[in-house]
Amino acid sequence: MPDVEIQEAVKSARSLFYEKALVQFEGEWVGAIAAILQPVGMDSSASAPDLNYGEIFIRDNVPVMVYLLTQGKYSTVRHFLEVCLRLQSDQPQTRGIFPTSFVEVDGKLVADYGQRAIGRVVSVDATLWWVILAHAYVQKSGDRAFASQPSIQAGIQRFLGLILPPSFREAPTLHVPDGAFMIDRPLDVWGAPLEIQVLLHGALLSAAGLMKMAIESPDFEYLGDRIQQTVDHARRLHRYLQKHYWVTGQKIQVMRRYPTEQYGEAIENEHNIQVETIPDWLQQWLGDRGGYLIGNMRTGKPDFRFFTLGNCLGAIFDVLDCDQQSELFGLVVQNQEELIAQMPLRICHPPIDGADWQIKTGYDRKNSPGCYHNGGHWPCLTWFLAAAILRQPSSGSTHDSAFAAEMNLLELSYQKMLSQLPQQNWAEYFDGSTAAWVGQQARLYQTWTIVGFLLMHHLLKVNPADAAILNVPRLQDFC
């Protein structure tokens, strides 16, 4: 595509974002609404208020805040973090959680903690993302004084008070219901879904990093034990994910020969997995050298589906080591026909269908096979893949060859977004096995589609070094 057309697409996206998506509170930008209800040039009569897409969702504002950080808009990101902190729940049963979304009504902020959501489920990922974004803000802006504010540390302690107390389970994973993260409708993701676990890993390390900055002040010397407790939990979680979620062809071979009905401590098959639960599609999907983090581990019921965001975040937060990341990206390149198709990026693979779809989704027609979160394609996910790939260190000719294939994949994805999204009115998601159709219930002028494209452009064409923007502290930093 000619440079002039590329620049026109970027200019159009930036105009929509800055002029229509961002909203103000207390005289300053506070975040972006989920979808633009009246795009530039559209008559107001052609666009009616649409459900809750006019609210500011914490999850949807992750790419928004990351993009603003790359543009040096630090005060806006700080304002967003502080406003969200004011809305952190202090109620006995929900103390420490952040709202799914909020909106200004008559000069006051009204927050949604799940009471207005479909299925009345709170978005657990919003709470985990706030801590990660706070750490990213401090690292990018250099505003270390932010971490030492009593209000920030109090918010972190409320968050840790929610996450760290003992429960009825010894596993370090966070148990959640269906619909508690980006996949916000029933899709058999209850339990310990991958996305929540890798976000938890990143959030714990971010919280430890922010506390470590604050402990330099005499007022926060008491945080030493809390930091150690937080890091210990993150370390246990890391070992757990490595042991139970990471799979390769070789590991599946071992799992297929697991004995069952074992008792005691020194056993192989801790979750009593039956060989029949290992799906037939997995052998071809993995190939000879691929590896990935499975979607969920539950007693007797592992979920082997590939969830794109959870795997990308597993690389970004270093749940996976360098070799495993290479295996993951090789798997994505190998299976790009399913994951990229005509519009990147497929949210999960494979879709559930037939009786599984009926039982596991409750006949949810929005999540029909290949649609919405059941195997639909979401362009807003592609920048996460770009960030994961671009932050890899170079390590010789073998890596260079694999890295070239990964970069070709990113360039292909970028070109597809560039050529289609402006014409498709920045649609929320795309349906079908080839992603050729705009989603049946997709909202147009979706903010994270617009900002996801801007981030792809920034990472590939402007400053690839910003791929490190979501880097969290490493476990070895706390040894």
Q: What are the tens digits of pLDDT across the range 22-77? A: 999 999 999 999 999 866 554 443 444 557 899 999 999 999 999 999 999 999 99
Report the alpha-carbon distance of residue 180 to residue 317 in Å, rounded: 20
Q: Cα 244 to the chain's mean position, in Å?
A: 20
Residue 263 burial (CB < 10 Å; 0-12/13-18/19+)?
A: exposed
Judged against a pLDDT cut of 50, whether residue 306 lies above it is answered with yes
339: burial class by Cβ within 10 Å (0-12, 13-18, 19+)?
Answer: buried
425 backbone φψ class: left, alpha, beta (φ>0; ψ -120 to 50): left
| C-alpha–C-alpha distance, residues 475 and 231, integer Å | 7
- Beta strands (DSSP E) in 276-325 are 291-296, 303-307
d(CA 29, CA 10): 21
Residue 2 sits at φ, ψ, to 5 deg, of -60, 150
Name the one residue in this structure whose structure tokens are 């297929």.
256
Which residues make Cβ contacts (< 8 Å) with residue 157, sequence separation at least 6? Answer: 226
pTM, full prediction: 0.96
Average pLDDT, the chain: 93
Q: What type of residue is 336?
A: Q
Per-residue pLDDT tens digits for 414-454: 999 999 999 999 999 999 999 999 999 999 999 999 999 99
Per-residue confidence (pLDDT) for residue 174, from 0 to 100: 96
pLDDT of 396 > 70? The answer is no
Cα separation, 289 vs 461, in Å, equals: 30
Q: Name, in order, each residue with C-beta under 8 angstroms of 337's C-beta and a sequence gap of 6 or more.
A: none
Domain residues for 201? 3-260+267-478
- Identity of the residue numbered 157: Q
CB 394 within 8 A of CB 403: yes
Residue 367: band (very low, low, confident or very high) from pLDDT cuts 50, 70, 90:
very high
Across the range 105-115, mean pLDDT stands at 92
For 232-273, the pLDDT digits (tens) are 999 999 999 999 999 999 999 999 999 888 888 888 888 989
Q: In the structure, how many helices (H) and strands (E) does the chain have?
A: 17, 11
Helix (H) or strand (E) holding 301: none
pLDDT at 47: 43
> Cα(166)–Cα(364) distance, rounded to whole angstroms?
35
Number of domains making up the chain:
1
Nearest residue to 152 (alpha-carbon basis) of 172, 135, 171, 129: 135
Confidence (pLDDT) at 50: 55
Instruction: Identify which has the larger pLDDT, 40 or 96.
Output: 96
pLDDT above 60 (res 406): yes
Provide the 3-class DSSP secondary structure of residue 473. Answer: coil
Percent of the chain with pLDDT over 90: 84
What is the distance between the alpha carbons of residues 173 and 387, in angstroms, rounded to a whole number?
25
The CATH number of residue 468's host domain is: 1.50.10.10
92: confidence class by pLDDT, cuts 50, 70, 90: confident
- What are the tokens at 467? 């791929």
pLDDT surpassing 50 at residue 203: yes
Mean pLDDT of 194-209: 98
State the Cα angle at 181 between 179 and 185, rounded to 5°.
25
pLDDT mean over 189-206: 98
The pLDDT score that the predictor gives to residue 43 is 45
- Supply the pLDDT for residue 44: 41
Q: Indicate if the pLDDT at residue 394 is higher than 70.
A: no
Could you tell me the pLDDT band of residue 398, with boundaries at 50, 70 and 90?
A: low
Helix (H, G, I), strand (E, B) or coil at 193: coil
